[in-house]
């Protein structure tokens, strides 16, 4: 089962959760120190699109400086994102930017979406997250084949669609049942279908991703790769 070349990053979508205070963050930790604490405890983060618009460039630059050199930033972009609104943050993330997840959260203009994919791919590997069936299967297949991008996996479908090298992203809802056995089976399937990808990023999502899910997943990945 081990693939010596394969990295698996475990983290959450976002880090600024008040519910984590006391369970993960020290209760007296100031809010603006949370990312530095997070980045020294976990391997990666999926930055929600609204975070990109909320925080100033200076703060992103400080977080990049504080993060360990092996830390991985993945960025979530809305399918209707304006490149002008986000490209400066992506540039600040620099070499720590390991992947971009484009979320199909609205009915897209396919030409505009293709332009967004091309620009994003010039900065990092791209994975597409089809949210709520907003993109037809035919358009999704065309997008993947023309631009050689993978589709995110939720850990439940028959197999991840990771036919291309680049980003392989697993988005797992923390509201689902995530026992150690379920997590192990899911991670093993991800490794099996990783193909030419050098890394898999496993991000737990939800209103407040469970710290226990991330800790269990980290233990399992340490045993498998």
pLDDT value at 2 more than 60: no
Over the stretch 60-104, which tens digit does the pLDDT of each residue have?
999 999 999 999 999 999 877 888 889 999 999 999 999 999 988
Q: Which two tokens stand for residue 126?
A: 């791209």
Query: Any idea of the CA torsion for 180, 181, 184, 186, to the nearest 10 degrees?
Result: -110
Helix (H, G, I), strand (E, B) or coil at 172: strand
pLDDT value at 161 more than 90: no
**CATH at residue 110:** 3.20.20.410
User: What pLDDT does 133 receive?
Assistant: 58
User: What pLDDT does 5 receive?
Assistant: 72
Domain that holds residue 101: 7-224
> Counting Cβ atoms within 10 Å, is residue 50 exposed (0-12), middle (13-18) or buried (19+)?
exposed
Residue 107 counted as domain residue: yes
Number of independent structural domains in the chain: 1
Task: List strand residue ranges (DSSP E) for the chain, in order.
Answer: 7-13, 44-47, 72-78, 97-104, 126-130, 150-151, 167-173, 199-205
Over the stretch 89-99, which tens digit does the pLDDT of each residue have?
999 999 999 99
Residue 1 counted as domain residue: no
DSSP 14-45: -S--GGGBTTTB-TT--GGGHHHHHHHHSSEE
Is the model more confident about 131 or about 24? 24
End-to-end CA distance of the chain: 8
């Amino acid at each position: 089962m081990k693939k010596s070349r394969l990295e698996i990053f475990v983290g959450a979508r976002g880090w600024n959760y008040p519910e984590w205070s006391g369970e993960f963050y020290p209760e007296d930790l100031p809010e603006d120190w949370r990312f530095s604490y997070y980045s020294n405890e976990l391997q990666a983060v999926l930055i929600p699109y609204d975070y990109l618009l909320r925080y100033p460039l200076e703060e992103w630059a400080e977080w990049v400086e504080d993060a360990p050199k092996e830390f991985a930033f993945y960025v979530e972009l809305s399918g209707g994102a304006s490149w002008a609104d986000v490209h400066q943050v992506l540039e600040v993330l620099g070499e720590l930017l390991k992947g971009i997840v484009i979320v199909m959260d609205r009915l897209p203009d396919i030409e505009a979406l293709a332009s967004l994919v091309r620009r994003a791919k010039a900065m990092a590997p791209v994975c597409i997250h089809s949210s709520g069936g907003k993109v037809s299967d035919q358009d999704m297949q065309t997008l993947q084949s023309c631009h050689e991008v993978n589709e995110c996996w939720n850990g439940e479908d028959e197999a991840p669609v990771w036919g291309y090298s680049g980003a392989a992203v697993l988005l797992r809802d923390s509201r689902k049942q995530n026992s150690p056995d379920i997590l192990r089976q899911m991670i093993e399937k991800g490794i099996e279908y990783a193909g030419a990808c050098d890394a898999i990023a496993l991000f737990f999502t939800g209103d407040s991703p469970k710290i226990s899910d991330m800790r269990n997943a980290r233990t399992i990945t340490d045993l498998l790769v």
